[in-house]
Chain A
Amino acid sequence: MADVRLEKVTKTFGKVVAVSDASLTFKDKQLTTVVGPSGCGKTTLLRLVAGLEIPTSGNIYIGDKLVNEVPPWDRNIAMVFQSYALYPHMKVFDNIAFPLKAAKCPKEEIRRRVKQTAELLEIPELLERRPRELSGGQMQRVAIGRAIVREPEVFLMDEPLSNLDAKLRVYMRAEIKKLQRVLGVTTIYVTHDQAEAMTIGDTLVIMNKGIICCMGDPDTVYSEPIDTFVATFIGSPAMNLLEGDFESQKGLFVTESLEYKLPSDVADVMKEKGLSKVIVGIRPEDVIVSDSKVQGFIDTEVYMIEPLGRELLLSLKLGDHIIKAITPPDIKLKIGGDAWMRFDDKKLHIFDRKTERIVV
């Protein structure tokens, strides 16, 4: 059990900078998810911790040990791969036992631990089979089994659920989270699926283009995004972003098609900071919609209605803007008709044109 610390770690492949100046700590016993779009460097980061890549510069510590020069086979880590990487020529039992054999465990103990692991993952009946005789979900459990059987200091998981069908994925998410709690091992979980990142992690790390954007617990990252990238990456459907100007005199947010009166506390802070060009962000679930005219609401055209079963996803057209809103399903609207909306003032996010956020 140990925490994993990165100090100014950079990894380049020729001219390509995969990871740039990453400094962070993965806390002991916690499940930290690393999330980001494809190509953001999260898998490279994981491989650096595993020792499968060597940092171009910077230091990596596992526990208190500097492990830059330590090869993967000497680090006490376990990894679950996206493709599971099960050894096709060995039975399931031998696959799970493989790391124990490397550590020269006595045969009896190997048998005991493999059986124990198989029971924990509910796959004891599969021990005599070969990987090609298993389903996706079964292969995945074997891969996890192989990782947990040796009680490593760190678990590394590289998008382990990406190859599973949606229902199984949701089920396994919960199973993995439960398992991690029980075992209490520091876990670094890489995924490109933001919903998965939110549900499974104690802490979230968001990466973009090799840089670590931010780090925090899921709720904070969701409700207080640090920049527009995080704001639109986390949460589905994505946050609405409107580019416009702030008129400090009247406390208005103005765009070509919209004039919105900002709440006074927000406007004050903006005046103080002397902002003029801003981006206003509001999540679809924080857009209040009414099917009849209400005082203070803005008239918009219903562009699209997407029923999601337990709610409706609306696309509302306002001049050049298309604003997405989520409403309960019983609202009476039709495409082409009118809808009146306003923003939940407590949930506004103001961004300086692409740098930071200021007020909630």
Chain B
Amino acid sequence: MPSLSYRQKRLLGQVAAYIVGAIIIVYCLSPIAWILLTSIKPPGQEIEIPVRYIPSYISFENYWGMISKIQFLSYLRNSIIIASVTTILVLALGSLSAYAISRLRFRFRTASLVTILVVGMMPGIVMIAPVFFLIRELGLINSYLGVIIPHTIFALPVAVWLLASYFAQLPFDLEDAAKVDGYNPFKVYYKIIMPLSAPGLFSAGILAFISSWGEFMFALTITHDINARTALVAIATLPGAFHLRWGWITAGVVLSLLPILIIVLVFQKWVIQGLTAGAVKY
């Protein structure tokens, strides 16, 4: 092969990068595409052999089945409530902790950080039995709170970590200036720190929401009926002892994905900004 000029090499590199990117995207999106296609197949076509990729006509029977027979919307409502409350709690508690850890000097600072990290690194399955007994003792089995509490606890470490690193890069001068201007620490937190950390809060919030939404093990263990069960658990426990209704399953999955998709698309600017630890331009 003749030796390429610098410009040609650059071009080749860019093309290669795009090709690799396209492959990765196709690889990631293909399961979702498959699920989407399956969910709009008329009943029967999803389990044909040989495999039928594109439905012969679009049918929403699966969706209708989920909504009316399984009352899937109730499960969705449960998921939304649980994930939202978890997010609010995680942000409220997490931001205060992150602020203290990253910007205040106090004796147990290192110990607190270590504790939070240890909890974050613990696999959920280790905790499932003790947490179950605890929730049962508290009388919270099959209630929203019973799921919210473990979800919050397990989402906090990541949120604190993210928010702490975000807070740490805010200039200390700003707080001093606000104090001298006549604001006590709480007002400084509320009027200066919070607004400036909006991207970090958004991304921590969205991460908390997604982690609660997609959590399976605790939701399965702690809830047992429609009053509190989440959408994902509902899909996994669809009635059907002899066969799996793939159409209904995939319809459920698509319905579960919708809220998340909407949130991430609406807030994508904040998500990306927060996750890439955007520097506050001075």
Interface residues of A (CB under 8 A from B): 47, 50-52, 71-75, 77-79, 81, 83, 85-89, 98-99, 102-103, 131-132, 146, 150, 156
Contact = CB atoms under 8 A, between A and B. Distances in A.
B225 interface: no
Contacts of B171: 83, 85
Contact of A88 (B180, B181, B196): B196
B49 interface: no
Contacts of A52: 176, 179-180
Contacts of B282: 83, 88, 131-132
Contacts of A50: 176, 180
Contacts of B173: 81, 83, 85
A149 B177 CA distance: 14
User: Which of A47, A52, A102 has the most C-beta atoms of chain B within 10 angstroms of its own C-beta?
Assistant: A102
A133 to B, nearest CB: 11
Q: Which 7 A-B pairs have the closest CB atoms?
A: A102-B182, A85-B173, A85-B177, A99-B181, A72-B179, A79-B180, A73-B182
A156 B181 CA distance: 12
A100 to B, nearest CB: 9
Contacts of B196: 88-89
Contacts of B174: 85, 87
A220 to B, nearest CB: 32
Contacts of A103: 182
Nearest to B195: A89
Contacts of B187: 102
B251 to A, nearest CB: 44
A102 B183 contact: yes
A1 B176 CA distance: 22
A73 B195 contact: no
Nearest to A131: B282
Contacts of A71: 179, 184
Contacts of A88: 196, 280-282
A72 B178 CA distance: 9
A85 B187 CA distance: 17
B192 interface: yes
Interface string B66-98: 000000000000000000000000000000000
16 contacts: A47-B176, A71-B179, A71-B184, A72-B179, A72-B180, A73-B180, A73-B181, A73-B182, A79-B177, A83-B282, A87-B174, A87-B192, A88-B280, A89-B196, A98-B178, A156-B180
Contacts of A77: 180
A47 B177 CA distance: 11
B176 A73 contact: no
Most buried by A among B176, B196, B280: B176
A81 B177 contact: yes
A50 B180 CA distance: 7
Given A50-B180, A89-B195, 10 more contacts: A47-B176, A51-B179, A73-B183, A74-B182, A79-B180, A88-B280, A98-B181, A132-B281, A132-B282, A156-B180
A132 B282 CA distance: 6
A316 B280 CA distance: 52
Interface in B35-77: none
Nearest to A82: B173
Contacts of B182: 73-74, 99, 102-103, 150
Interface string B149-186: 00000000000000000000001011011111111100
Contacts of A74: 182
A340 to B, nearest CB: 54
B249 to A, nearest CB: 46
Nearest to B192: A87
Contacts of A72: 176, 179-180
A231 to B, nearest CB: 35
A87 B184 CA distance: 16
A264 B176 CA distance: 57
A146 B195 contact: no
B198 to A, nearest CB: 8
A52 B180 CA distance: 8
Nearest to B173: A85
Contact of B180 (A78, A83, A86): A78
Interface in B266-282: 280-282
Given A85-B171, A88-B282, A89-B196, A102 B176 contact: no
A146 to B, nearest CB: 7
A51 B184 CA distance: 12
A129 to B, nearest CB: 14
A77 B240 CA distance: 74
Contacts of A78: 180-181
A88 B282 CA distance: 7
A328 B282 CA distance: 46
Nearest to A47: B176
B179 A73 contact: yes
Contacts of A83: 171, 173, 282
Nearest to B170: A88
B186 to A, nearest CB: 11
A72 B180 CA distance: 5
A150 B174 CA distance: 18
Contacts of B179: 51-52, 71-73
Contacts of B280: 88
Nearest to A98: B181
A86 B184 CA distance: 18
B279 to A, nearest CB: 11
B126 to A, nearest CB: 40
Chain A CB count within 10 A is highest, among B173, B180, B184, B195, for B180
Contacts of B184: 71, 73
A159 to B, nearest CB: 12
A81 to B, nearest CB: 5
